[in-house]
Amino acid sequence: MDQVTKREKIRFLIHFAVFAAAILLSAFVNARMITGFQWWLLVSLGWGIIVMIHFLYVFMIKPMLVSSKEKKV
């Protein structure tokens, strides 16, 4: 069995693509606003942390858990 399934990889890539599109859109909207506050940076920081956790889980933590489970069997 593949340690990280194809479905999990696709879900992460979709999550990342939506994140990137939303950040670009947020930056564009913020650039069009008159205010000088760069609020899109807060959005990218918060959501970026979540995307990083998702990446770590799919590509690092889950494979370690699966491999340790397979060693016990």
- Looking at the predicted structure, is the pLDDT value of residue 23 above 90? yes
- pTM of the entire predicted model: 0.82
Q: In the structure, what pLDDT confidence band is assigned to residue 4 with cuts at 50, 70 and 90?
A: confident
- Looking at the predicted structure, is the pLDDT value of residue 13 above 70? yes
Give a yes or no: residue 40 inside a domain.
yes
Give a yes or no: residue 38 inside a domain.
yes
Q: Domain containing 52: what range?
A: 6-72
Q: What does the pLDDT read at residue 57?
A: 95
Q: What does the pLDDT read at residue 54?
A: 97
Give a yes or no: residue 1 inside a domain.
no
Distance CA 68, CA 73 (A): 9
CB 48 within 8 A of CB 19: yes
Q: What does the pLDDT read at residue 3?
A: 66
Distances (CA, A) of 72 to 60, 64, 66: 19, 13, 10
Give a yes or no: residue 56 inside a domain.
yes
Number of domains in the chain: 1
